[in-house]
Amino acid sequence: MGVSQEKSIARTIALSIAVVVTVIVLLAAVILSYTAYSFIDSQTDAEVLMRTEALASAVNGSDGDDVTVIKNQLKIAPAYVRVTLIEHDGAVVYDNFANASTLKNHADRPEVKHAMVTGQGSSARRSDTLSEESIYRAVLLDNGMVLRVGIAQSNIWGVFFTILPFLVAVLVGASIVSVIAGRMVARGFVHKLDAIDLDHPNTAQVPKELRPLLGRIEDQQIRLSEKDADRRRFTSNASHELKTPLTVISGYAELIAGGLALPEDVPQFARLIHAEAVHMREIVDDLLALSHLEDSSVMAIDFSESVSLARIANETAQRVKVEAERRNVTLVVDISDEAVLTEDVVITGNARLISELVLNLIENAVRYNVDGGRVVVRAHTNDDQHACLVVSDTGVGIPCALREKVFERFYRVDTSSSRDTGGTGLGLAIVKHIAQLHGAEIRVEDNVPQGTVFEVRFPR
């Protein structure tokens, strides 16, 4: 796996370097070709002007009517300079590059036409080979003839094709260098990656570009570590919670099965076995509920229902009323039937889950209250226009340091009385998950002068 990654990185880096080098070389070639062409063009134009003036001066200073004399004067031009002598009607009298008799009439040539009208003219024409162009300059002589001088030069493509072999050699060399450099850079990069301690990525001496990636890796490790610790704690707590009723059930069942229980004790033992079995079922049901809430992405939960907090609070309180009376706790719902109709607090969510949330909060408030205590349930809209559900009790209260821990699975503030109060220790964990699914915030505060206030604030 490591070797394959290194090859892939080396290939990628080498290709990137080769592309960059190729682009740079091509741009340099274009710039160089254009610069060379501009220089050659200016030099050729200057030479054509110089040759034209020199030849015209020589012809005008001689016997301008004797064509033979003029031809001899024109022969002083270098071999690469084309010299053409043209009559006023466009007929070619003399050309040092071709037989004058075979040439067409030049009266339509731009430089010739301008010379006949203004005394001088110039033009540039590309040859059929597409790699050369000729610069012409023509002047009107004293005898009425036109003298035209031309020099052929490489055009922009001709210059480019001239340097093409050098360009190909540079590109081949650059490709070889890029492959070697790419492999070297890749090896160095992979070596740095191999040196990173993924258990402590932020302590590694790595390029700053990798810091965001390593930061995410570290955050993920922290989350995984926390989840692992939470899983181990959950497994331990679940085992402990299930072990107690199993021990009771096993012990009493063994007494009955072995004939060691007195006949008059058997009904009491059966009631205890049944109570512990019910408690185990409640734990299993809550564990399944938590599992489903945590995996809500695969559940078909409708969060678009209009849910009346006031109505759910009234209905849920009726379900807990008998348990509250049994524990001598006064349960008050601070919402009248008229208020449900006129001042109802409605949120968007899932009615079943909200009902479960309210039920767990009220049951906890009743279960962990004092004899003769009081529980008040209220739904309202606060000053910030948040829909709020408030459950307050007059129980023993929750210390500030433990207000976040009470939402952990199986956590109880008072473990000594947990068996007497009942419950599975999962109620507030379920409340927290339901609140999170609805984007709600849970606050835990003191209830003056005694007890605790749970407030769930739903989004606007």
Model pTM score: 0.50
CB distance 367 to 423 below 8 Å: yes
122, 244: one domain: no
Strand 330-333 to 374-381 pairing: parallel
Domain range enclosing 239: 212-297
Question: Is residue 207 assigned to a domain?
Answer: no
* Confidence (pLDDT) at 212: 76
Q: Name every residue whose Cβ is closer than 8 Å to that of residue 208 and which is 6 or more positions away in sequence.
A: none
Give the single-character DSSP code of 79.
T
Give me the number of domains the chain comprises: 3
**100 shares a domain with 226:** no
Q: Are residues 331 and 240 in the same domain?
A: no
pLDDT at 1 over 50: no
C-alpha to C-alpha distance for 100 and 261, rounded to whole angstroms: 142
- CA torsion 372-373-376-382 (nearest 10°) is 150
Judge if 152 and 7 occupy the same domain: yes
Cα-Cα-Cα-Cα dihedral sign, residues 141, 143, 144, 147: negative
Of 303, 338, 311, 460, the C-alpha closest to 387 is: 460
> What is the phi/psi pair of residue 396, to 5°?
-75, -15
The rounded distance, in Å, linking the Cα atoms of 410 and 287 is 10
Residue 372's region, left for phi above 0, alpha for psi from -120 to 50, else beta, is left
CATH code: domain of residue 282: 1.10.287.130
How far apart, in Å, are the Cα atoms of 457 and each of 224, 433, 443? 29, 14, 8
Residue 136's CB is within 10 A of a number of other CB atoms, namely 21
pLDDT tens readout for residues 79-136:
889 999 999 899 999 999 889 889 999 999 999 999 999 999 999 887 654 567 888 9
Number of helical H runs and strand E runs in the chain: 11, 12
- pLDDT digits over 405-442, tens only? 888 877 766 554 455 555 667 888 889 988 998 999 99
d(CA 93, CA 67): 8
- pLDDT at res. 338: 52
> At a CB cut-off of 8 Å and minimum separation 6, what does 263 contact?
none
What span, in angstroms and rounded, lies between the C-alpha atoms of 422 and 120?
Answer: 117
**225 within a domain of the structure (yes/no):** yes
pLDDT at 327 over 80: yes
Which pLDDT belongs to residue 83? 92
Is the same domain home to 30 and 13?
yes
